Amino acid sequence: MRSTAAKTVREYAVELPGAVELFEELGLDYCCGGNVELDRACARAGLAFEPVLKHLETLRTDLKHTAPLVGLASAPLPELIDHILATHHDYTRKALSRIPALLDKVVVAHGETHPEVREVRALFRLIADDLDLHLQKEEAVLFPYILDLVRTVSGSGEPPHACFPTVAFPIQAMETEHDTVGLLLRRMRAASGDYLPPEDACPTFIEAYRALLALETDLHRHIHLENNVLHPRALALEKEFRKMTESHSVS
């Protein structure tokens, strides 16, 4: 077992229920930038390592005294993909369709006194454009291929066909796009002052920033599930499939 000091933020997020909520509260990146040891991540964020570790160990202790639950990390891949589609893709599309009107109203009403909202709107538009195409590619290419792999390895389907030699190719493309969205989210958070509306903000201004914060939080969890859970398991499944293929060809 790896020592607590050597464990990455990503590993805690995957294995320990409640860790994601803690990392959100502390501002620790557990999705795109989660592959870094916890102590180093704390140092980068200006946080004391020991209190964070103690909180995580408390979560682990509390988990031992609760009924075991089947987490998404160990759920069947079709169930995990269904969760991502129903919980995160659906939420993202609804947010992307709702937020533009809010930001447009804020810019008209407050753009002169709070010019930063123009930058927030511009960054949101970049994020929305990237996510719109990104979700389409996942749903049309990556997710169907993974589901075909599941059926093939279980013996209930034909070998998957794809325009790429390995699932590592679309996974790398998706994770690169995740990194781009993560950078834009950080820029938008900075431009908005951590989504804190000014004292003279109207209800629409307050709701716009509330919606952006909720979208950011959901995207963090969405990207975490894909980068840290779905993608590694898909790569492992494809490796299993190739071993099956090789053994059949030899026999």
Confidence check: pLDDT of 229 > 90: yes
Alpha carbons 230 and 178: distance in angstroms, whole number:
14
- How does residue 41 score in pLDDT terms, banded at 50, 70 and 90? very high
Q: Check residue 57 and give its pLDDT.
A: 86
User: How deeply is 60 buried, as exposed, middle or buried, from its count of CB atoms within 10 A (0-12, 13-18, 19+)?
Assistant: middle
At 65 the pLDDT is 42
Within 10 angstroms of residue 167's Cβ, the number of other Cβ atoms is: 22
Amino acid identity for residue 49 in this structure: F
Q: What was the pLDDT predicted at 4?
A: 61
The percent helix, strand, coil of the chain (3-state, each to 5) is 75, 0, 25
Residue 8: strand pairing partners: 37
pLDDT at 119 over 80: yes
Angle between helices 116-137 and 203-224 (to 10 degrees): 40
- Quote the CA–CA distance of 130 and 147 in Å, as a whole number: 24
- The pLDDT-based confidence of 66 (bands split at 50, 70, 90) is very low
Mean pLDDT of the chain: 89
Instruction: Output the pLDDT for position 69.
Output: 36
Ranked by mean pLDDT, the top range of 5-14, 149-158, 206-215 is 206-215
- pLDDT value, residue 84: 96
